[in-house]
Amino acid sequence: MTAMITLFNLLPTLALLGAALSGLEKVPTALAHGSAARSPKDIQHRHLAARQRVSENVARRGAASKKTGLIRRQADGKKCRVRGQQGSLATTTSTSPAATSAAATTEDAVDAAAPYSASASPSPSPSPVEASSAASSPAATSAAASVPVTVGSGGSVNTNSKLGVAWPNGDWAQGGDLNYIGNYIGSKTAWYYTWSPFHVGSGDQVGLEYVPMLWGPGHVGDWWAQMGQWPSTVKNALFFNEPNQKGQCDVSASDAVQYWMNDYLPLRSKGIRLGGAAPTNAPDGLVWVQDFQKACVAAGNSAADCTPDFLPIHYYDTSVERFQEYVANYHQQTGINLWVTEYACQDYNNGPQCSEQDTWNFHTQMAAWFDSQPYVERYSPFGVMKDMQGVNQANALMNPDGSITSLGGWYITSA
């Protein structure tokens, strides 16, 4: 009888304990496991999220979810959708220019928008249409050219080189691994970025300058959390990634101002140069950049605070001449020095893709041209990854097994 009375008295306590345990089951994974369970890859550039490498890295970090979708973009650069993961790519081992993409797929995917077009609709602000008549040749120098700036490297290797590596592969590979970042330095690579505020310790150890990126509004928390972990090599930073593009940063110019002023501009007081947002090469990309400057000043901020030290740009198309015209026109419109932080020989307008030889010519000619333009401070081609995310495989700088391709080898030795 006594035992029954005791059990009866315990029933309310057991009921409360059961409710608490039931509630715990519904706690989000990120809270239940704490911040340590989050992978740096979770915040990296969305169009890289489907890489098999990400899945491997997330698994190694013990994260609860894996991203496996590919972001597809239509030729007009205005819409994208997610599709299932692409089939595996065959490993390329030949050292000839034409062999870098023998098993390539040439689907019209990933993050490039429509190329610059002289037929773009006029805009109240200076537009690409006005710029097209100002440059008589691809190598035309801007009439509004800014004074050339010598960008000193914060790193200790290849300090006089403009070439950088856009690195989405994390910090897990070490010396001896095929996909070790040190294998992608050679005599040319001087700096790297990761589409995020997470640096790569192995890259820092070999002397590369790290360039952090505030990818978009959703990454502000990681931006501030990682800032204190950055290596001393940080001398430059990158702002929003393709803010004019659905599926990428996708934020209006006026809404971006608060993030620039509150979260990004403070770096300048630490001696870090500030890059602007990097739009796609759709006509509304340049318009976004111009609108941002106007909105920032209209909000009561000084023109000096609203003006970046350099402007990053992205470009995906198949013509060297159009690429050079686009870069020259962009500089003419803005009068600010440029970084070309993504580019590839890739068609998104239902035209033919670049052949392997076309792609080789595209990269070798553009690298030489970038080096000859004083207002192009730095450049980094797209393609140091195992899965090219639908971009023409001929642009790959890394083979599916992590080893460097012949094009990648050319960049780090001869570019």
pLDDT in tens, 36-86: 322 333 334 433 433 333 334 434 434 333 333 333 333 333 333 222 233
Higher pLDDT, 161 or 82: 161
**Other Cβ atoms closer than 10 A to 9:** 9
Q: Is the pTM of this model over 0.85?
A: no
3-state secondary structure of 209: strand
Instruction: Evaluate whether residue 59 is within a structural domain.
Output: no
Q: What is the pLDDT of residue 10?
A: 56
Instruction: Evaluate whether residue 270 is within a structural domain.
Output: yes
| Average pLDDT of the chain to the nearest whole number | 75
Instruction: Evaluate whether residue 33 is within a structural domain.
Output: no
Residues near 53 by beta carbon (within 8 Å), at least 6 away in sequence: 168, 169, 170, 179, 385, 386, 387
Instruction: Evaluate whether residue 20 is within a structural domain.
Output: no
3-state secondary structure of 171: coil
- pLDDT over 50 (residue 375): yes
* Domain count across the chain: 1
Instruction: Evaluate whether residue 19 is within a structural domain.
Output: no
- pLDDT over 80 (residue 203): yes
Q: Find how far residue 314's CA is from the centre of its chain.
A: 9
- pLDDT over 60 (residue 5): no
- pLDDT over 50 (residue 234): yes
- pLDDT over 60 (residue 27): no
Higher pLDDT, 13 or 84: 13
Q: What average pLDDT does range 395-415 have in this prediction? A: 96
Range of the domain at 206: 99-414
pLDDT band at 107 (very low <50, low <70, confident <90, very high): very low
d(Cα 277, Cα 299) in Å, to the nearest integer? 18
Q: Minimal CA–CA distance to 91: which of 390, 391, 413, 386? A: 386
Q: Minimal CA–CA distance to 113: which of 218, 217, 246, 239? A: 246
Higher pLDDT, 53 or 232: 232
Buried b / exposed e over 103-125, threshold 16 CB at 10 Å, is: ebbbbbbbbbbbbbbeebeebee
Q: What is the pLDDT of residue 415?
A: 80
Sign of torsion over alpha carbons 165, 166, 171, 177:
negative
357: CATH: 3.20.20
Higher pLDDT, 227 or 12: 227
Q: Minimal CA–CA distance to 296: which of 275, 250, 265? A: 265
Q: What is the pLDDT of residue 47?
A: 39
Instruction: Evaluate whether residue 206 is within a structural domain.
Output: yes
Q: Name the phi and psi angles at 27, rounded to 5.
A: -65, 135
Instruction: Evaluate whether residue 216 is within a structural domain.
Output: yes
Higher pLDDT, 199 or 29: 199
Beta strands in 28-157 (DSSP E): 70-73, 80-83
Instruction: Evaluate whether residue 47 is within a structural domain.
Output: no
Q: Do residues 278 and 304 touch, judged by C-beta distance below 8 A?
A: no
What residues are paired with 343 via a beta bridge?
A: 315
Q: How much of the chain exceeds pLDDT 90, in percent?
A: 61
Ranking 12-21, 257-266, 273-282, 365-374 by mean pLDDT, the lowest is 12-21
